[in-house]
Amino acid sequence: MQRTILHVDLDAFFAAVEVLDHPALSGKSVIVAGLGPRGVVSTASYEARRFGVRSAMPTAEARRRCPGGVFVAPRMARYQEKSAEVFAVLARYTPDIEPLSLDEAFLDLSHSLSLFGTGMDAARRIRAEVLDCCELSCSVGVAPNKLLAKLASEAGKPGGVYEVRSDAVQSFLDPMPIRRMWGIGPAMEQELLKMGVTTLAELRALGPEALASRFGSFGRELHQRACGIDTRPVETERVELSISAEETFALDVLDQAVLDRELMRMCERVGRRLRDAGLKAGVVVLKLRRADFQRITRQTVLQPATDRTSTIHAKARELLRRWRQENPAVPIRLLGVGVRPQAESAQASLFAAPSPEASRGADAVSDAIQKRFGQRTLTRARSLKPPAGED
C-alpha cells in the first residue's frame, strides 16, 4: 500500500506567536533571540529573513544585518501552549503523529485518508483549521514518505500546500542543489563539489558503488535519498533522543565554584524533564566550549538508569572535575549537561544499592512546588550564589 505522509511545519513559529500576542509587531522584522552579548537567534520573521537573518545566527550579527529589527526574548511556556493547540488540531486527522519539535510533525494518513479525500484535501483542511483555530500559519507537504514530505513542506513555504506524487519524485528532486538534502552538511557539500556534483540528479547519477567507495555505508544511503527512497515509519511513540540544558556565559569562566553552581541548575532542569516524561537516563553527557571555541564532550554510563537529579549531577560533576584536572587554566565559554533516555527502563540489578528515599522525596517535592508556583520558586542550595564576601 502506498503511504500518504504529511509534514506540517508552522511558519516562523516563535516570531508568529509574538506577532499574535502583540499585533503592533505585524509587518515588522521580529527576531526571537537571546538578548545577551552571546545570544543566538531562535526564529526570525520573514520580514527579518529578507535581511539575511537566520536561526542559530549570533544575535550581534543579526543586529548588524537588521538594525531596524525588533528583538524579543523567547517565551517558551507560551510557545508550548500554542504548540499544544496545533497538535490538538492534528490529532483530529490521525493518531499516527510523530512530533519533531514544537512547530513541526509528520502525520501518516494512510489508514484514515478515506475520511478526508485525497492527501491534498486533508493538507488544505489542516492548514485552514490551524489558521482558524490557532491563528497561526503553517506549510504542509504531502508525499509517499517522510523525506519527500519534509522537502515538500519547504517547497510550500510560507503558508502553502505542496504535493510530491509518486510519479514525479525525480522531476522534483533532480534540480535541487545538494545542500537541500538532509545529511549533507557544509563539509560533505565541499567534498561533493570537488567531485563535480552540484545537484541531486548528479548525485544520483554517480551510483551507490561510487558513493560508497568515497563515503562508506552513508554513501549508499545518500544515493537512496537522491532517488527519493525512504522506508522510515511515522513513529508515534518516540523516545526523546536527548534531554539537555546549556548556558553560554557572558564572560568566559574559570572559577570552578561558578561552574559547579551552573551545573547543578542544569541538572535540576534535566532531571525534572526526565521525570515529567516518565523516562530514565542511561548516559550522562557533559558539553564544554572553550574560549577558543573548541568543543569538548565527555560521557559516562549510568548503572542502573535513573531520573534522580542528585545522581545525574554527581556523574556530570565528576566528568567536569576530571576535565578540569587535565586543563586547570582553561576558561569555559559554554557549559552544558545532557542525558540519553533509555527506550525501556532496564531491570534494576539485584545487588544495586537502594535509592535513598530522602533524595526521591526531594525530587518529588521540588517538582510539585515548581509546577505550581514556577521554576524559580525552589532550588537546591548548591546552585545558589553565596553572599558577597563569602566563599
Which residues does the annotation mark as catalytic? 104
Phi and psi torsions of 14, nearest 5°: -60, -45
The region that residue 85 occupies, defined by phi over 0 for left and psi between -120 and 50 for alpha, beta otherwise, is alpha
Residue type, 338: G
Q: Is 140 within 8 Å of 147 (Cβ atoms)?
A: no
- Tell me how far apart the alpha carbons of residues 1 and 277 are, in angstroms, rounded to a whole number: 34
Residue whose grid cell is 517565551: 75
- Say whether 107 sits in a helix, a strand or coil: strand
The answer, yes or no, to whether the previous bond of 341 is cis (omega within 30 of 0) is no
- Tell me how far apart the alpha carbons of residues 342 and 352 are, in angstroms, rounded to a whole number: 18
User: Of 146, 125, 151, 161, nearest to 230 (Cα)?
Assistant: 146
By the 10 Å C-beta count (0-12 exposed, 13-18 middle, 19+ buried), 231 is classed as: exposed
Task: Count CB-CB contacts under 10 A for residue 313.
Answer: 24
What DSSP letter does each residue of 335-349 carry, written as one string?
A: EEEEEEE-SSPPPPP
Grid cell for residue 163: 504535493
Sign of the C-alpha dihedral computed for residues 97, 103, 104 and 109 taken in this order: positive
Residue whose grid cell is 525501556: 344
- Tell me how far apart the alpha carbons of residues 139 and 99 are, in angstroms, rounded to a whole number: 15
Q: Is 97 within 8 Å of 112 (Cβ atoms)?
A: no
Strand order of the β-sheet with 70-72 is 41-44, 30-33, 70-72
Q: Is 90 within 8 Å of 98 (Cβ atoms)?
A: no
Q: Is 189 within 8 Å of 177 (Cβ atoms)?
A: no
Helix (H) or strand (E) holding 41: strand 41-44
Tell me the β-bridge partners of 108: 5
